[in-house]
Structure 1
Amino acid sequence: MSQAPASRFPAPAIDALPEDIRTRLLAVQEKSGFVPNVFLTLAYRPDEFRAFFAYHDALMEKDSGLTKAEREMIVVATSAANQCQYCVIAHGAILRIRAKNPLIADQIAVNYRKADITPRQKAMLDFAMKVSADAQRVSDDDLAALAPHGFSNDDIWDIAAISAFFALSNRMANFAGMRPNDEFYLMGRLPKR
């Protein structure tokens, strides 16, 4: 495993963090076996950490017309377009686990148009990519194109919000030089024994 730092910014000692942040990091470590570098990097600025993860959780953990795997597809596709190594690797691992498919994250990261996804998911990613890279050109026609695939207004909002939120995340990860944890690379690729 790599001993490289989490990012360009010093990661605070977990035991020196405010209690709410320390508790969250320890819970993540308990569940996954490690602390993802995004948590360590963003803990450098506790108020921003709280705001970031509050919005992250509001988008990614709620009940929605989008499955949790579809939400991760949005993150992987848009993060690949934004050249964010951290988010492609970390959320690719989460996508593999949530989709129960060891191939899907790599397919989507390289070219979602050729991935083994449904027409509904392709339409979702087409829209997500437009929001991520060309939002000023989003029109009523783009929203109308989603209706035949069964997306509600709330679903469309979620697609856009996830795309926009991860554009922020991608830029912060790239600016900070955030490294994906080595553990992410193998997650969801092989069945658990």
Structure 2
Amino acid sequence: MSYLADPPESDPDVELLYAADRHRLGYVANYTRALAWRPSAVAAWAALNGAIKSTMDLRRYELATLAAARRLGSRYCSLAHGAVLREHFYDAETVTRIAGDHATAGLSPADAAVMDFAERVAGDPNGITAAEVEVLRGHGLSDPEILDVALTAAARCFFSTVIAAVGARPDPAYETALEPDLRRALTGSLD
């Protein structure tokens, strides 16, 4: 569901996008329905996002993405990436703590610094200083790894902005896939 009408499923490119979602998710995501009007843009986004993720540890990617999504106020992306963290890396209580205050959630200092940096990239990229980059180096991140975090957060800015602008609503599947307390933690302050 979004502000846009669904494109015609009879379009072969739209049909392919929908089939890919059904195969991967079991349903067509609301963001896919909205973006399917421009399949080439969806393909370009998938290629960019895939290139960014390909050089990163998935857990770090998801932590950085969640931090950027929360900073941007994106309910959809917060739910989606909180769900990945819940499914693959942490229990519900831990993801709830991460969403509430990652600095006190029991993450490693490096992971907390990554989330801090991703928030800054999403909220005030022009204010980032060399000292903030040095903090990441101090936690053992290489320059390419720091760039990965910046790319992750900046890409989330693009995607979250587009889906918000067209009114893509979080998929109903998050209502059943995530525990109520976790859903509230991921979206509560974003309502």
1:14 aligned residue: 9
1:46 is displaced (CA, Å) by: 2.1
Asked if 1:44 corresponds to 2:37, the answer is yes
CA distance in 2, matches of 1:48, 1:24: 12
The CA deviation string for residues 23-81 of structure 1, in whole angstroms up to 9 with x for no partner, is: 34323312321122122211122222222221122123x143xx212211111121112
Asked if 1:186 corresponds to 2:176, the answer is yes
Matching residue's letter, 1:94: V
CA distance in 2, matches of 1:17, 1:10: 17
Check 1:163–1:179 CA distance in 2 against 1; reply closer, same or farther (3 A cut): same
Check 1:29–1:145 CA distance in 2 against 1; reply closer, same or farther (3 A cut): same
TM-score (norm 2): 0.84
Aligned residue pair count? 179
Check 1:141–1:52 CA distance in 2 against 1; reply closer, same or farther (3 A cut): same
Matching residue's letter, 1:11: D
1:3 aligned residue: none
The structure with more helix, counted as a fraction of residues: 2
1:146 is displaced (CA, Å) by: 0.8
1:123 is displaced (CA, Å) by: 0.7
Q: In the alignment, is the contact (CA less than 8 A) between 1:7 and 1:179 conserved in 2?
A: yes
1:100 is displaced (CA, Å) by: 4.0
Aligned with residue 125 of structure 1, among 115, 130, 133: 115
CA distance in 2, matches of 1:16, 1:134: 40
Q: In the alignment, is the contact (CA less than 8 A) between 1:101 and 1:188 conserved in 2?
A: no
Matching residue's letter, 1:8: Y
CA distance in 2, matches of 1:148, 1:185: 39
1:83 is displaced (CA, Å) by: 0.9
Check 1:28–1:116 CA distance in 2 against 1; reply closer, same or farther (3 A cut): farther
SS of alignment partner, residue 126 of structure 1: helix
Q: In the alignment, is the contact (CA less than 8 A) between 1:96 and 1:103 conserved in 2?
A: no
SS of alignment partner, residue 20 of structure 2: helix
- Give the 5 Å matches for 1:42-121: 42-60=35-53, 62-64=54-56, 67-121=57-111
CA distance in 1, matches of 2:18, 2:140: 37
Aligned with residue 153 of structure 1, among 131, 143, 147: 143
- Cα RMSD (Å): 1.9
Asked if 1:35 corresponds to 2:28, the answer is yes
What residue ranges of structure 1 are gaps of 5+ in the alignment? Answer: 1-5
Matching residue's letter, 2:169: R
Check 1:71–1:186 CA distance in 2 against 1; reply closer, same or farther (3 A cut): farther
What residue ranges of structure 2 are gaps of 5+ in the alignment? Answer: 180-191
